[in-house]
């Protein structure tokens, strides 16, 4: 058996969340270690498609003690650039990252936690799980009904159109990932059907400013988990239909359709070699248009009440989503590949089952678990709307670090 390793805090995951927490702990002179299964920012280098860029502009990449200082603040980083950015962050304060260490199990003893890893056990008084919200693509059960000869991909496995089996493609899910992949496949000459459920639509820029600038400026991104009306719903909200591109182009169902994508209703079932789509497509589009216009109305009200109208562009509204006559069925004999862009779920295979609810979701209060000393970081709307953003994880890390210090002090006092 390896010699026991002891520290105050074990942070699991060397991405934006783990590094932000490491910085917050370093600031507080708390002994800790960051365990990373591969390399820093691993999922950015190994689980993203080639053309992917961030949805938020470069200036919006602020982490505790670090920010973007390149020459394209209004651009959008490629996945490789994000990985390089996070590696620079790690170096900037010498984060104690141990790479190539796989966590196998967390056991809680009386006052401490044992983190069993591929390099042996770590003993710590606190553990922060910072493995992100996208550890596993969510694939619906009906995937099992697809004929076996059809290739099935997820956004973490998709790289580029050349990799996709010949034939037509069915992309399921029209949030950022699904819509971007459908658009890219269609522009590469593939016949693409896009199954569309609930989605959130917004223009890339509005009145001359990036939509995320507006969401930050109006306070939307700082909305807190203990203030929002329906937290479970806010956490389920699909990602915005946006793409980060040098020309700041819009990406919505209208632009995708103009590029040849066939949007249809939500995938409802697979019967007798045919995919069946819900007849609710029109309502999905109407709901998204209404939601979008309500947000743009709020932005206009904010601009007017803050005297911004003279400095920015005129008000406008994106064209309503064109519904057309969506197909209700697709003959799967023509389909070579199905891309499941149906969301992600975080997974904690090392955690005791009693800490997750009946649907496999971690039970936590703003990142604080019921077991003293256990924390999670980097989940959607964990403590604020921007929690899962590179730009948003910092304030969460700071607040959890403060809570964690309290726990360490209490556990010392309790032991005395």
Partner 1 sequence: MSITEATTTSVDNGVNVEALLGAREALTAAPPAARFTFSATNEWVNGTHSRTTVEKFFGLGEEQSHRRPYTVDTDHPEIFAAEDNGPTPPEIVLIGLAGCLTAGVASVAQNRGIQLHSVRATVVGSTDLAGILGIDPDVRNGYSSIRVSYQIDADASREELQAVVAQSQKRSAVFDIVTNPTTVVVEVV
Residues that bind partner 1 (CB under 8 A): 198, 265-266, 268-269, 271, 276, 278-280, 283, 286-287, 290, 293-294, 358
Nearer to partner 1, 365 or 409 (CB): 365
Least distance CB 290 / partner 1 (angstroms): 5
Least distance CB 280 / partner 1 (angstroms): 5
Nearer to partner 1, 177 or 278 (CB): 278
Other Cβ atoms less than 10 A from the Cβ of 145: the count is: 12
Least distance CB 277 / partner 1 (angstroms): 9
Least distance CB 349 / partner 1 (angstroms): 25
Nearer to partner 1, 88 or 334 (CB): 334
- Residue 297: its H or E element: helix 281-305
Candidates 403, 390, 412, 409; CA nearest to 41 is 390
Nearer to partner 1, 213 or 281 (CB): 281
Distance CA 89, CA 41 (A): 11
Least distance CB 173 / partner 1 (angstroms): 16
For the CA atoms of 135, 391, 370, 124, what is the dihedral angle to 10 degrees? Answer: 80
Least distance CB 204 / partner 1 (angstroms): 23
List, in order, residues 6 or more apart from 69 with CB less than 8 Å away. none
Entry field: residues in the chain: 416
Nearer to partner 1, 208 or 279 (CB): 279
Nearer to partner 1, 91 or 294 (CB): 294
Nearer to partner 1, 98 or 274 (CB): 274
Sign of the torsion angle spanned by Cα atoms 47, 49, 52, 58: positive
Distance CA 143, CA 134 (A): 19
Distance CA 175, CA 12 (A): 28
Distance CA 42, CA 87 (A): 10
Nearer to partner 1, 1 or 232 (CB): 232
Least distance CB 320 / partner 1 (angstroms): 11
Beta strands in 285-409 (DSSP E): 329-331, 335-340, 344-345, 364-365, 368-369, 374-376
Q: Residue with structure tokens 């959008």?
A: 76
Least distance CB 352 / partner 1 (angstroms): 22
Candidates 391, 295, 414; CA nearest to 66 is 391
Nearer to partner 1, 14 or 326 (CB): 326
- Residue 98: its H or E element: strand 97-99
Nearer to partner 1, 268 or 312 (CB): 268
Other Cβ atoms less than 10 A from the Cβ of 286: the count is: 13
Least distance CB 297 / partner 1 (angstroms): 9
Least distance CB 211 / partner 1 (angstroms): 20
Distance CA 389, CA 385 (A): 9
Other Cβ atoms less than 10 A from the Cβ of 314: the count is: 7
Distance CA 369, CA 365 (A): 6
Angle subtended at Cα 154 by Cα 150 and Cα 155, rounded to the nearest 5 degrees: 140
Candidates 103, 247, 243; CA nearest to 178 is 243
Least distance CB 256 / partner 1 (angstroms): 22
Distance CA 347, CA 171 (A): 24
Nearer to partner 1, 31 or 198 (CB): 198
């Amino acid at each position: 058996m390896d010699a026991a390793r002891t520290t105050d805090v074990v942070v699991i995951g060397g991405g934006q969340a783990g590094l932000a927490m490491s910085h917050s702990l370093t600031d507080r002179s708390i002994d800790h270690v960051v365990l990373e299964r591969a390399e820093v920012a691993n999922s950015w280098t190994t689980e993203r498609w080639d053309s992917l860029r961030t949805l938020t502009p470069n200036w919006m990449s602020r982490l505790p003690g670090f920010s973007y200082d390149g020459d394209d603040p209004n651009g959008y980083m490629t996945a490789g650039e994000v990985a390089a950015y996070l590696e620079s962050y790690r170096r900037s304060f010498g984060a104690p990252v141990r790479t190539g260490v796989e966590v196998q199990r967390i056991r809680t003893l009386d006052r401490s936690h044992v983190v069993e890893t591929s390099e042996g056990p770590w003993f710590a008084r606190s553990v922060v799980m910072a493995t992100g919200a996208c550890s596993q693509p969510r694939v619906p059960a009906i995937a099992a009904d697809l004929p076996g000869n059809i290739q099935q991909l997820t956004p973490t496995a998709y790289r580029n159109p050349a990799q996709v089996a010949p034939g037509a493609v069915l992309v399921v899910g029209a949030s950022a990932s699904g819509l971007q992949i459908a658009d890219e496949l269609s522009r590469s000459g593939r016949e693409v059907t896009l199954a569309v459920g609930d989605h959130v639509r917004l223009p890339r820029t509005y009145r001359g400013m990036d939509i995320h600038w507006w969401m930050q400026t109006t306070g939307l991104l700082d909305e807190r988990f203990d203030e929002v009306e329906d937290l479970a719903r806010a956490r389920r909200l699909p990602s915005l239909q946006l793409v980060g591109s040098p020309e700041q182009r819009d990406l919505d169902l209208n632009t995708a359709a103009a590029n040849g994508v066939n949007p249809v209703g939500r995938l409802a079932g697979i019967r007798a070699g045919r995919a069946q789509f819900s007849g609710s497509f029109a309502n999905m589009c109407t709901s998204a248009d209404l939601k979008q216009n309500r947000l743009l109305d709020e932005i206009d009200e904010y601009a007017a009440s803050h005297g911004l109208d003279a400095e920015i562009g005129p008000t406008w509204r994106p064209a309503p989503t064109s519904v057309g006559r969506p197909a209700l069925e697709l003959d799967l004999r023509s389909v070579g590949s199905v891309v499941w862009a149906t969301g992600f779920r975080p997974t904690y295979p090392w955690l005791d089952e009693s800490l997750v609810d009946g649907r496999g979701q971690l039970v936590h209060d703003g990142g604080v678990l019921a077991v003293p000393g256990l924390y999670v970081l980097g989940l959607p709307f964990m403590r604020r709307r921007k929690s899962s953003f590179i730009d948003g994880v910092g304030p969460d890390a700071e607040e959890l670090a403060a809570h964690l210090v309290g726990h360490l002090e209490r556990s010392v006092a309790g032991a005395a």
